[in-house]
Amino acid sequence: MISGKCLEVCCGDMQSVRAAIEGGAHRVELCRALEVDGLTPSPEMMESAIGMGIPVQMLIRPREGDFVYNEDEVENMLKDIRLAKKLGANGVVIGALRPDGSIDEDTIRRLVSESEGLSITFHRAFDVCAKPFEALEQIISLGCHRLLSSGQARTAEQGIPMLKKLVEQSAGRLIIMPGSGVNVNNAHKILSETGAKEIHGSLRKDGHTDSEQVRAITGILEA
């Protein structure tokens, strides 16, 4: 891996985790129900993926829909973080907003506190937040290590202008990781034009991660 570049593969089942590993992915984001943009994986799935030896980031998202959570949902997320930590996860992927589209700082502060010792990614709830550049500062100050974003566009390629601004604004204080619609044909462009070092994609074929696509992008990162 050259210049600290990293491919994170979003995996919705164990077949995809195996394909990601076979293709040389550096890390996986583990979830289920990709058809609704991902939900927290089952304990059994967590344990199986962690046992395969690749760094695993657990998506912590209790339901589909918006990112405005009530107290019961927050308690469920805290419980899932504790389980991910107990099972040996590398990190967690979190996010929460207020009804006005701002970052729910109180909830994120609780989730980050529970995640102490883990790598913490703020997920694409960011892409529907109201004031992205202000939100970035909040996410950094709350202690997140990474931001997964499409630059508030439908795809990361379309979001290149904002992603570039986010990389510049973050100035190394956290990692900006472009994601959404990443593929073999646009990964190099996204990385080179944004200045990002990490990139995220599901790289699926026939509903599962395809090891050949993973291998092709790891090759791009190492070129």
The mean per-residue pLDDT over the stretch 76-105 comes to 98
Q: How confident is the model at residue 75 (pLDDT cuts 50, 70, 90)?
A: very high
The mean per-residue pLDDT over the stretch 25-30 comes to 98
pLDDT, tens digit, 9 for 90 and up, residues 91-123: 999 999 999 999 999 999 999 999 999 999 999
Long-range pairs for 203-210 at CB < 8 Å and ≥24 separation?
203/9, 203/20, 203/23, 204/16, 208/13, 208/15, 208/16, 208/19, 209/9, 209/11, 209/15, 209/16, 209/17, 209/19, 209/20, 209/23, 210/19, 210/23
Mean of all residue pLDDT scores within the chain: 96
What are the extents of the domains in the chain? 7-222
Under CATH, what is the fold of the domain 7-222?
Answer: TIM Barrel (3.20.20)
The mean per-residue pLDDT over the stretch 21-43 comes to 97
Percentage of residues in the chain with pLDDT exceeding 90?
97
Q: What residues are paired with 201 via a beta bridge?
A: 9
**Helix (H/G/I), strand (E/B), else coil: 10:** strand
The mean per-residue pLDDT over the stretch 31-35 comes to 95
Q: How confident is the model at residue 2 (pLDDT cuts 50, 70, 90)?
A: very low
HSE toward the beta carbon, residue 13, CA cutoff 13 A: 10
> Which amino acid is located at 180 in the chain?
S
Q: How many residues does the chain have?
A: 223
Q: Are 25 and 8 in contact (CB under 8 A)?
A: yes
Q: Are 93 and 59 in contact (CB under 8 A)?
A: yes
Distance CA 26, CA 3 (A): 14
**CA dihedral of residues 155, 157, 161, 167 (deg, nearest 10):** 90
pLDDT, tens digit, 9 for 90 and up, residues 175-219: 999 999 999 999 999 999 999 999 999 999 999 999 999 999 999
Starting at the edge strand found earlier in the chain, the sheet holding 198-201 runs 175-178, 146-149, 119-122, 91-94, 56-59, 27-30, 6-11, 198-201
> Which amino acid is located at 126 in the chain?
F
Has this prediction a pTM greater than 0.85?
A: yes
Distance CA 152, CA 156 (A): 8
